[in-house]
Structure formats: structure tokens, C-alpha cells
Amino acid sequence: MSVIGVDAGGTLTKIVYEENGALHFKTFSSEQQVLQWLGILAQNHKLYITGGKAEKWRGIFPHAHIVGEFEAVCSGAKLLLKEEKTDLKQFTLINIGTGTSFFKVDENGCERLLGSGLGGGTFMGLGGLLTGESDYYELVRLSKEGKRELVDLSVRDVYEAMNSPVPDHLTAANFAKGDAFSKKADKLRALTNMIAETIILLASQASQAHKLEDFVFIGSTLKSNPALKEDLSQFQDMLSYTPIFPEKGAYAGSLGAFDVGRGSEHSQNRQ
């Protein structure tokens, strides 16, 4: 029997399944749509579910198997790196979902280091409050077009003609120049940058003790989001890290659940 890997997140549902020897990846924003879709396929597939809503979904699909979220994310990330022929022995894994989790991954396994409430939920929620927009792709489009220096106070603004003790392009205060006349795009780029700055600072602090220099970013908030990727990459010279963005990083959780399920089913079939 075939397997479907499901990442039932707080905002989006990501699915991985195999058909005709190839993996397929789907994203649903509507819970009703994905439940209808799965209701049909679940008759001939076994569901392996991870994510914040996994237990809720098992109430709907009682024969589904629950996969621990951290296990699924780490397993999926390793598979994505292997698929892209990126050979890393150890790295910091940063999963930007509704919030953000940070993991140490090495040959001994995967260990969660810390987490933050800033992530995709912040981008959607605060982004909506700032602009009145609610569509993810519209928020991403506006962010890409915005200029955060029109909203953020930079070190350059503070020191003006004086020599600053730190690089003058850094943020002195997020949103300090924003007002009622600030454009939607500029506010969204400032928000994207604030999220990225916080994530990089936390990742850097968490990684120093373990001497990890490669940062692997996954999670649905990175999907079609060039502004966030750019802002996450802006501190390389200062903090000495290498950002890596697997192409299908949004599906790490669902791919990991799928892989656990596939291994389990193969093991049972051999018995």
C-alpha cells in the first residue's frame, strides 16, 4: 500500500506522495480542500502525519500514523540535501514555519536548540495588520518591491556624518521611521527584515557553541519569498555563515513523514 506524508501545520498543509515512481508535492491553504482530497486517497494509502494539527487529523483518519515533528523535519531536510548533492556532515537547521525552530544536525542525530515566535505567522498576521492584505503571495510581492530604509532607522541615520562603531547599514531601530504615510511595500520589507535579523542573530548565537557555520533554511515561509532569502543572507561577512536554501525546503516535514512511512511499510512487508 502506498504512503502519503502530511505536514499539518498551523497555516498551510504540505503533502508528499509517490506516483508512477516520482515524488509529488502539494500545498493546501484550505483545510476543507485538503481533507476532501485526502478523504478520497486515504482509502488506498496509509497516512503518516506530522505537524501541529497531527492529533486533530487522527481524529478524522483514525488509522493514520503520527510522526514526531522534529524527527520528520530533520529527516526531510537530510533527504533534500542528499537529493541536491549537498554533502554536509553537520549544520544548523532553521525551520521557518508559523514560528521558527533551530536544530543542531550532525552524524549523531538531530537536537532542537531553541525556538522563536517570529516566523511565517508573524509575517502573515502583522503583515495583514500593517497593510490590510491577507494573501501570502501578495504580501511577498509587496515585500520584494519595498525599501526598508524608508521605515527602519539605520545606524547611518543615527550617526550621520560621524564614524559609527558598527557598519552603518545595520538597523538601529526597526520601524522607527515609519508613519501613517509609509507605503505598504516599505512596511512589509521592514517586517521581512526584522524577522530575518532576529532569526540570524538567534541562529548565530545557537551555533557558536557547536561551531556550526552552515545554516540550512527550510519551511513554508521561504516559498516564493526572495526578499526573505535575501535578508537572511545579508550578514555573511559579519557572522561567517553560509546560507543554504533547499529548493523544496517547504516540504521537509511532509517529506520526512513520507520517508518514515515508506521505511515502516517496507519493513512490515519484509516480515
Query: Where in the sequence numbering do the catalytic residues fall?
Result: 69
State the cell numbers at 254.
511532509
Picking from 166, 143, 160, 162, the residue whose alpha carbon sits closest to that of residue 230 is: 143
Report how far residue 146's alpha carbon sits from residue 189's, in angstroms, rounded to the nearest whole number.
5
Buried/exposed code over 205-244 (b: 16+ C-beta within 10 A; e: otherwise) = ebbeeeebebbbbbbbbbbebebbeebbbbbeeebebebb
The total of other beta-carbon atoms located within 10 Å of residue 172's CB is 17
Beta bridge partners of 7: 14, 50
User: Are 104 and 94 spatial neighbours (Cβ–Cβ below 8 Å)?
Assistant: no
User: Are 190 and 175 spatial neighbours (Cβ–Cβ below 8 Å)?
Assistant: yes
Torsion of CA 76, 257, 14, 113, to 10 degrees: -50
Helix (H, G, I), strand (E, B) or coil at 74: helix
Cell 538597523 found at: 171
User: Are 54 and 212 spatial neighbours (Cβ–Cβ below 8 Å)?
Assistant: no
Beta bridge partners of 176: none
User: Are 95 and 101 spatial neighbours (Cβ–Cβ below 8 Å)?
Assistant: yes
Beta bridge partners of 14: 7, 27
